[in-house]
Structure 1
Amino acid sequence: YLKKKIKYNEGEIFNMEKYQSSLEEIYSAYYDIGHLHIRLIDERTTRDDSLIDINYDITEGLPSTINLVNIIGNTKTKDKVIRRELSALPGQKFNRELLIRSVRDAMALNFFTNVNPVPRNLPNGDVDIEFQIEEKQTAQASAGAGYNSTDKLVGNLGIGIPNFRGMGQNLSFSTDFGSRRNSFSVSFTEPWLYGRPTLFGTDIYSSKRQWFSDYTETRQGGSVRLGKRLRWPDNFFRIFASYRLERDKYEDFSNSFIASQSYKDYHAYQEFITTYDTTYSQDSSFTVDPRYTWINEYDTTFTVKDPIQPYQNSILTYDEQWNIASRISFTVTRDSRNLPEFATSGSKFSYSFEKTGGLLGGFWHYTKHKISYAQFIPLYKNIALAVRSQFGAIVRPNGADFDNDRHTLLSDRFTPGGVAYDGVVRGYDDGSLTPDTTIKAGADTLYYYNSFTDSAMIINGVFDTTFADSSTINQSAGGQYTRVRGNYMFVSNIELQIPVVSRSIYGIVFFDAGNSWLNWTDINPFTQLYSAGGVGFRVAVPGIGTIGFDFAKPFDNIRNQDNGWRTHFQIGTTFK
């Protein structure tokens, strides 16, 4: 075992760096099994002028036992909140790996700027462990206003307390108010229910949002969550389950939105004129009663487009009624990151399964899967490369009633792009990477009406008595593109994270790629991903959290967007 710690081999040129590294590895091997008082004497002897013999004389001693675990410096957080995260406990044989894991788990709470373990040797060979804590400000209060093209002017009030009462609980409250968006939410999480590693959480919320003057979306509901730490396959795993009951309504549709989401009747008709019209009476090519004038069918002044039926998947089909979403979800995660933000090593895996409707009841009925994996690779000192990929899918049940997306909640479908929650692809507008679909024109009809039985219809400027019958119907030939939200999504992010001020200010260089699709057969991640690159920075602001600005340049063309640089603002990090 110890020979594997030696960094050099017989016959090699002597290298002092490898020599010192070998000594450190030997000491570390003994510290890992509790031998803190090992005595190691290395002897180097030279022979034949150029050969060096190296001998190690090791006195192992007895392993040390942890006597006390002391915690100092925590002015707000209760001792028990920290102690329950520690793997190094009194009565155990000292183990350096458990000590490192204790520091990692305490830092994962995200309550502290630093956790420093200091062993204190005792006369009998045992050891006390002192954890020196540096707390950071965790309460986050916000009040302000903002403006964007979607919501216009919006005010915000909020408070988040990740370490409520110093008990490790999380309490948050937020409200938005404006002419187009109003929302309210309250959330509470207890990570150790009744002193056991079982999470309990609940939240209630209500939101009302007007989308681009097209319609208003209202969502009201609440949820209950449970979580559990696992010991198998290893103790980095967690499982979560939740139940959510929500009601949704789409209402206040504008006339232009109704027209854009509906099949239409096109009526061309004659206008009755009560005064003599000399313009038409002088036309010698035909005889017209001067009380009447012909209006060309392409004259939009006298063309009426009447919506007759919403498109098949349009939210107009919900008739402005409340619809219930009853949902149960299960999530498994494995998080071995060394830090909750700007990790420099470890990985994070997550898979979630959500079932809406079916035996749970409600109007909405579908299954949603989402899987993601992130790897953090140390490069040099605290500079790290972070790589993440995620894939999502919404699956409808079989049956004629579910051949379209009518029973799939619009807000649950995927809208990556920008810094959207679904998937971050900077360089594009938020939520803009969604698929296009063609509305079939078979139900579009063109009606030709003649007000008078003795008249004829003008078609392309020529009299045509074929359409004298007002019941004549001609099917229009063209289709119409419309943008919808995706049922499938893939997004990948690469970030180089460079600390400028340790744990306070970071610079980043990034590359993003992603897209969403309507159908499984449409997916081609090798040729259909929108990509972008850029730079940005993150700043940890006490009382607010981590805020960031990114400057991104898209590499691909997308409809209704230019290829210029875009600025994105976000709270938190890309790799949450």
Structure 2
Amino acid sequence: MKTNISTFFIALFFIFSSTAIAQDIEFNNGKKYVLGDITVTGNTTFSPQTVVTYSGLRKGEEITIPGETISNALKKLWKSNLFSSIDIYLVKTEGDTAYLEIVLVDLPELNEVTIKGVKKSKTETLIKDNKLTKGVKVTQNLLATTQNYLTNKYRKEGFYNTKVTINTTEVVDSIQKSRVNMIINIDKENKVKVEKIAFNGNDKISDKKLRKAMKNTKQKNPIRLLKRSKYIKDDYKEDLVSIIDKYKENGYRDARIISDSIITNNDNTISININLEEGEKYTFGKITFVGNSVYTDQQLNSVLRIKEGETYNGVELKKRIADDSKPDADDLTNLYQNSGYLFSSINPVEVSADGNVIDMEIRISEGKPAYFNNVTVVGNDKTNDHVIYRELRTRPGQLYSKLDVIRTIRELGQLGFFDAQLLTPNFKNPNPNDGTLDMEYSVVERGASQIELQGGYGGGGFIGTLGLSFNNFAIKDIFKKEAYKPVPSGDGQSLALRLQASRFYQTYSFSFTEPWLGGKRPVQLSTSLSHTKQFLYNPITRDADKSKRFNITGISVGLAKRLSVPDDYFTLSQAVSFQHYNLKNYNTGLFTFGNGYSNNLSYTIGLSRNNTFTDPIYPMGGSNFSVSAKLSLPYSLLNSIDYKALNEERDALDPTDTDDFKRMGEIDQERYKWLEFYKVKFKADWYTRIVDKLVIKSGLEFGFLGAYNNDRGVIPFERFFVGGDGLGNYSLDGRESIALRGYPNQSLSSQDGGTIYNKFSLELRYPITLGQSAKIYALGFIEGGASFDNFRDYNPFTINRSAGLGLRIFMPAFGLLGIDFGHGFDALPGQTVKNGWETHFIIGQQF
């Protein structure tokens, strides 16, 4: 009889069931043999040489049967996860030589997977998540892991009664391999809703307040919209902790949950019963600091902000010492870490609780101040090192500051060259004894260049647009052939080219920005050049009459400097711009002169402050405000023209008379030869994180266009046009398009535009994904605004209101794209019925 040696190791490894008769052999326990031939049989596709080599058995070696050598061979073969059955037989012995046989059965390979019970669109993701690729070995572990993953996945989504069954069937074909098809049945049933949450033993805190403390698990309430009632086990466990935290916040530090139970109701809902023991209420007693030498007790108390006699609040005490939810929180840990004490530790210890009054010791181990040793950046393949290093707030030899690390991450994110969600500061080689550490910033680059290629119908014909924007340009390499990959990049400069054309107009623009002029200071140089041709519509030919045109040529140069006072989030900007308006046979309502020109030379000064958090596409905190004034020279003070007399003469003329109309044009030409005006604008946005990544953006805008000389009047250029998507297409006269969704473009202003406007907005945002390849978020908004022809009519509370929903998609190659569905609640000027729904497509801008 051939002997199954593996049965000797059943207690250590596996149960073997196969036996077969070969010949009668007297089996001797613990006898030594020289290993002869090893044969491999069974249902396996692996070659005998491969199996023997992997087992570790070698012909000619001395082995003990039974012994450790056979045991190790079994271990190696099982660890391969390639076989469903493994047996090692002693076939025969000849003197001191033993002959072995390894009998194997291969694990079946996966042929195809069928998933039932979910939408077909979801199956591919489920197969990928569980690595159910064709050819993978089907082990019991694979089946169990897949079943557990799917069960937990849908239970986390509220399908508490989810059942997953997995069956395999053999594939019969000409291939010799053992293969199986896998059929996965997912029965999610209905989502389990919580009918009622009941508390027992709570006298000090009401059921209502305890339910409110449970942020994730809610009982059914038909009027609640944002948080649906569903049971998810992990979330429920978190909520039990939140209940105890609620007691700790109110002084009941000994509160505990005695038991909790879940009752299944007949209508597929559940009820939750929670039994509590509240304990007694405590107050803070004396709080003393131990081990502090850097800061006085008074300074530490000003940060701790807890006084003797206040209700004991363990949750707040923990936050005042180290608030993990806010990296820049005003707490004791950050107080030390922002002063260089990276290796400090702060521990609160209760030293007495007599009479329900808790005396505390805040024990502080300050350690040595820490200094940065090496500061490095990894992950930047395109962006040159100096572009990154000039933004770093942490330098070698500098005292460690957590605030500087956080600020560095923000500055790198604001550059727009890296994925802000993947920026990571890595602490390397911290040495408490020497007081040093290395800092490594890990960045992941994203495409900084964008292309805009679009076509559409508007303005009486087809409009084509081609735009190229290079946001990490390197102009110094523009003549280096090897630098075109596809364009010279890496120096952080911006270069943009844009062409837009239709039958009726053509627009060309070029702009360039250098953010660090000279490379030493954050002084930004910006330049732009544009030219527009507008042709008059011929109603007879229904085409553009190119003999009648209106040209605008503009150039601007600006400097913006980052300030250090009041803080370095402030930027002071200044710019000088010039626009030349030239008309030839262009008679419209805009001017009374069809031949002539106007010049617009102006100076703009602005102050802005932007401390929004890290990701410029989806800020989750901070604010951004700007105020600016655009001023022309007071020409009416420098010349001797009597504009009052000109106005009186103009008012006396008859526009229907040819000579009078010509004279009116001459007067207007004189008034607008050099444009005289001042323009003040203010804009502010605040971003507030509500919970997780849910963010509220609130905004306020105001603009006013005025005249130095009322007799000269407000110019017909530079005006405000409110309504629609805010895109500036077909705006040729220096006007500003102000977005107000829910209404047609520029519909809420008079024909000539407003001289004053205001706008208020509130937007709720939540991200669908903030991945590297695309950032997508949904939004809901309410907003209102209006424009007015003069300051006398201005009323900030007379606004056009709207609300709606939208979606934004940011892809590095194409910039920001979006769609909004807005409902206008008020009528357009001159109408009596509310405007209703409007659809807006957003390209290349962000509200």
Q: Is TM (by shorter chain) over 0.5?
A: yes
Query: AA paired with 1:146?
Result: G
Equivalent runs, 1:378-389 vs 2, <5 Å:
378-389=689-700
Cα distance change on mapping 1:19 and 1:217 into 2, 3 Å? same
Structure 1 position 542, deviation (Å): 2.4
Secondary structure at the aligned position of 1:3 is classed as: helix
Equivalent runs, 1:213-292 vs 2, <5 Å:
217-250=550-583
Q: Please state if 1:397 is matched with 2:708.
A: yes
Alignment-derived partner of residue 35 in structure 1:
341
Q: 1:116 aligns with which of 424, 444, 448?
A: 424
Cα distance change on mapping 1:409 and 1:87 into 2, 3 Å? farther
Alignment-derived partner of residue 166 in structure 1:
490
Cα distance change on mapping 1:212 and 1:16 into 2, 3 Å? farther
The whole-number CA distance in structure 1 between the counterparts of 2:676 and 2:426 is 55
The whole-number CA distance in structure 2 between the counterparts of 1:8 and 1:151 is 69
Q: 2:780 aligns with which of 487, 502, 509?
A: 509
Alignment-derived partner of residue 316 in structure 1:
591
Alignment-derived partner of residue 134 in structure 1:
444
Q: Please state if 1:3 is matched with 2:301.
A: yes
Q: Please state if 1:565 is matched with 2:833.
A: no
Q: Does the Cα contact within 8 Å between 2:533 and 2:552 map onto a contact in 1? A: yes
Alignment-derived partner of residue 425 in structure 1:
740
Higher relative strand content: 1
Structure 1 position 2, deviation (Å): 2.9
Structure 1 position 572, deviation (Å): 4.3
Secondary structure at the aligned position of 1:325 is classed as: strand
Cα distance change on mapping 1:151 and 1:342 into 2, 3 Å? farther
Structure 2, unpaired ranges of 5+: 1-298, 323-330, 474-488, 540-547, 639-671, 727-735
Secondary structure at the aligned position of 2:827 is classed as: coil
Structure 1 position 74, deviation (Å): 1.0
Please list the CA deviations of residues 493-541 of structure 1 after superposition, one character each: whole Å capped at 9, or x if unmatched: 2111111213611111111211111111011121x21111111011111
Q: Which one has more relative contact order, counting CA pairs under 8 Å at least 6 apart? A: 1
Alignment-derived partner of residue 530 in structure 2:
205
Secondary structure at the aligned position of 1:2 is classed as: helix
Alignment-derived partner of residue 329 in structure 1:
604
Q: Does the Cα contact within 8 Å between 1:38 and 1:61 map onto a contact in 2? A: yes
The whole-number CA distance in structure 1 between the counterparts of 2:574 and 2:537 is 35
The whole-number CA distance in structure 1 between the counterparts of 2:739 and 2:352 is 61
Cα distance change on mapping 1:572 and 1:141 into 2, 3 Å? closer
Structure 1 position 488, deviation (Å): 1.0
Q: Please state if 1:376 is matched with 2:687.
A: yes
Structure 1 position 175, deviation (Å): 0.4
Structure 1 position 179, deviation (Å): 1.3
The whole-number CA distance in structure 2 between the counterparts of 1:531 and 1:249 is 38
Alignment-derived partner of residue 319 in structure 2:
21
Secondary structure at the aligned position of 1:397 is classed as: coil
Higher relative helix content: 2
Alignment-derived partner of residue 340 in structure 1:
616
Cα distance change on mapping 1:250 and 1:418 into 2, 3 Å? farther
Q: Does the Cα contact within 8 Å between 2:634 and 2:708 map onto a contact in 1? A: no
Secondary structure at the aligned position of 2:738 is classed as: coil
Please list the CA deviations of residues 434-480 of structure 1 after superposition, one character each: whole Å capped at 9, or x if unmatched: 13xxxxxxxxxxxxxxxxxxxxxxxxxxxxxxxxxxxxxxxxxxxxx
Q: 2:807 aligns with which of 508, 520, 537?
A: 537
Secondary structure at the aligned position of 1:342 is classed as: coil
Q: Does the Cα contact within 8 Å between 1:8 and 1:18 map onto a contact in 2? A: no
Structure 1 position 49, deviation (Å): 9.8
Cα distance change on mapping 1:233 and 1:5 into 2, 3 Å? closer
Secondary structure at the aligned position of 2:596 is classed as: coil
Q: Does the Cα contact within 8 Å between 1:424 and 1:574 map onto a contact in 2? A: no
The whole-number CA distance in structure 1 between the counterparts of 2:743 and 2:632 is 31
Secondary structure at the aligned position of 2:391 is classed as: coil
Structure 1 position 18, deviation (Å): 3.5
Q: Does the Cα contact within 8 Å between 1:247 and 1:323 map onto a contact in 2? A: yes
80-89 or 243-252, which moves further after superposition? 243-252
The whole-number CA distance in structure 2 between the counterparts of 1:336 and 1:39 is 30
Query: AA paired with 2:840?
Result: H
**What is the total number of aligned residue pairs between the two structures?**
463
Cα distance change on mapping 1:212 and 1:433 into 2, 3 Å? farther
Q: Does the Cα contact within 8 Å between 2:821 and 2:839 map onto a contact in 1? A: yes
Q: Please state if 1:498 is matched with 2:766.
A: yes
Q: Does the Cα contact within 8 Å between 1:154 and 1:181 map onto a contact in 2? A: no
Secondary structure at the aligned position of 2:780 is classed as: strand
TM-score (norm 2): 0.52
The whole-number CA distance in structure 1 between the counterparts of 2:355 and 2:845 is 59
Cα distance change on mapping 1:18 and 1:327 into 2, 3 Å? closer
Structure 1 position 397, deviation (Å): 2.2
Structure 1 position 48, deviation (Å): 6.0
Structure 1 position 183, deviation (Å): 0.9
Please list the CA deviations of residues 55-107 of structure 1 after superposition, one character each: whole Å capped at 9, or x if unmatched: 33322111101112111111111111111112222221101111111111221
The whole-number CA distance in structure 1 between the counterparts of 2:631 and 2:314 is 61
Cα distance change on mapping 1:494 and 1:522 into 2, 3 Å? same
TM-score (norm 1): 0.75
Structure 1, unpaired ranges of 5+: 259-313, 436-482
Cα distance change on mapping 1:486 and 1:399 into 2, 3 Å? closer
Identity %: 29
58-67 or 375-384, which moves further after superposition? 375-384
Query: AA paired with 1:232?
Result: V
Secondary structure at the aligned position of 2:527 is classed as: strand
Q: Does the Cα contact within 8 Å between 2:380 and 2:444 map onto a contact in 1? A: yes
Structure 1 position 559, deviation (Å): 3.7
Alignment-derived partner of residue 351 in structure 1:
627
